[in-house]
Structure formats: structure tokens, C-alpha cells
């Protein structure tokens, strides 16, 4: 029944109706787009350091925003080679320790971005707790949320997954990027860029916490390969 309804939408003479039959996917935050987004972030502020770290760590770990939101400061450990990030992959129901090496360019280095964020949090007496926290418009840690006098949300000020997705959307808009930008843009951008750089499918999947044979990952890989490995080329 659903397949028939999808076909009805796809074959409609109304362009708006046809558009409803197509999957709505987030744009991939490939390196070029990520650099444009980071260029709009003021890293002298606590909120700016948080946003830059969220973008770069989310990209480097191919993390879902729910996985980023759950990170505590103690889940991220710096080593001589880079970061070891303890992520709970919710869809796989397992804990992963993801290795994130130093970036060649300090402006796009996830290790330096996380270091700057944790140093800023320590300056405001937050050496522990959530890594990504709410910041008010004055640049201070936001007060606990209440509704009718009762506390709501995370009492430690942890950013929700929805709030982190909104961070990506807001920064992409500030950078003038067109399309649909959400938290999943970071994860999809990693898969696309890693494949274009020649990374093996299995290594991409294991690093990003995709299940073996994931159809979602295969879809990203096909999109990354459609020009470099196009079967029409040379015919």
C-alpha cells in the first residue's frame, strides 16, 4: 500500500506532489562546506568554542547528534596521537572508542577545538559534566530551565540532540549554504569525504559505527562514487 502511494506521488503531474515522493536527506558537510561554516564562528567566545568543537568532533567521529549530546568531558581523552572518544552507539547498542588524530590545519583540527572548549569550561569552573552545554546570549553558562517553577531539561545544562542539530542548521545558514542542513550532515559528510579520499568501506563503517552491510552507508558511498566511479565514463 505504501509503495502504491509513493508511486502515485511520483507520477503526479503536480511538481509539488512529485517532490513529496523523494527522500529528504541532509546535505553532506564535506570539508569545503565545513570550512565555510567554521569561518562564521567566533571562537573567542564560549559558545563559539562549543559550536566549533561540536562541528569538528561530530564530523571526525561520524557521530549522531544524540551521541554527541551524551558526551561528558571525561569521555574525551587526549593522547600524544590525538583524541580517544568514548561514544555509545545507540543503534548498535555498544560502546566504541573512536580515535581522532590531529588535523593538519589548526583551524579544522578537532583535537585543538576540543582542547579549547575544555579549557574554556575549566575557566568557568566546569572541569566535569557534559561536554556540550547551553550558553546564554551573554556568553555565560545558561541557568537551569524551569517551567511553572519546576526544573525541566538536563539540570547540568547539557545540550539536547535537537539543540545540537539546530547549531548545525544555524551555522550553515550563516555561511550561506543552500539545502537541508541538520545534525546528520556531519555524519553523512564524513562518509562522503572519506570515500572520496579512498578509504575502505569497511573502515568507514567501523569508524562511524554503521552496522555491517548498512544500506544507509552504502547509499552515501554510491553518492560519493557516482562521478569518480561512474559506469558511463569511457563508454
Q: For cell 559534566, name the residue.
A: 129
The pLDDT-based confidence of 221 (bands split at 50, 70, 90) is confident
Residue 12 is predicted with a pLDDT of 82
- 40-51 pLDDT tens trace: 999 999 999 999
Given a cut of 90, whether residue 72 has pLDDT beyond it is yes
- 186-217 pLDDT tens trace: 999 999 999 989 899 999 999 999 988 888 88
Q: Average per-residue pLDDT in the chain?
A: 90
The pLDDT-based confidence of 91 (bands split at 50, 70, 90) is confident
User: In angstroms, what CA-CA distances link 18 with 9, 26, 87, 130?
Assistant: 5, 19, 39, 43
pLDDT greater at residue 87 or residue 233: 87
- What is the average pLDDT across 169-182? 96
Alpha-carbon span 201 to 177, nearest angstrom: 28
Amino acid at each position: 500500500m505504501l509503495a502504491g502511494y509513493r508511486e502515485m506521488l511520483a507520477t503526479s503531474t503536480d511538481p509539488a506532489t512529485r517532490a513529496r515522493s523523494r527522500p529528504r536527506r541532509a546535505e553532506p558537510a564535506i570539508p569545503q562546506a565545513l570550512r565555510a561554516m567554521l569561518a562564521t564562528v567566533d571562537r573567542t567566545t564560549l559558545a563559539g568554542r562549543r559550536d566549533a568543537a561540536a562541528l569538528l568532533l561530530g564530523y571526525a567521529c561520524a557521530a549522531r547528534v544524540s551521541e554527541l549530546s551524551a558526551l561528558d568531558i571525561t569521555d574525551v581523552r587526549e593522547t600524544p596521537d590525538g583524541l580517544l572518544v568514548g561514544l555509545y552507539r545507540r543503534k548498535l547498542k555498544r560502546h566504541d572508542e573512536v580515535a581522532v588524530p590531529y588535523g593538519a590545519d589548526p583551524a579544522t583540527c578537532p583535537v585543538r577545538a576540543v582542547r579549547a572548549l575544555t579549557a574554556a569550561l575549566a575557566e568557568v569552573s566546569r572541569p566535569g559534566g557534559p561536554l556540550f552545554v547551553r550558553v546564554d546570549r551573554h556568553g555565560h553558562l545558561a541557568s537551569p530551565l524551569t517551567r511553572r517553577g519546576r526544573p525541566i531539561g538536563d539540570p547540568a545544562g547539557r545540550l539536547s540532540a535537537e539543540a545540537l542539530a539546530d547549531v548545525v542548521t544555524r551555522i550553515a545558514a550563516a555561511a550561506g549554504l543552500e539545502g537541508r542542513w541538520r545534525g546528520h550532515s556531519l555524519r553523512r559528510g564524513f562518509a562522503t569525504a572519506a570515500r572520496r579520499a579512498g578509504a575502505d568501506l569497511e573502515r568507514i563503517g567501523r569508524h562511524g559505527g554503521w552496522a555491517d552491510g548498512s544500506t544507509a552507508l552504502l547509499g552515501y558511498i554510491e553518492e560519493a562514487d557516482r562521478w569518480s566511479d561512474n559506469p558511463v565514463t569511457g563508454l
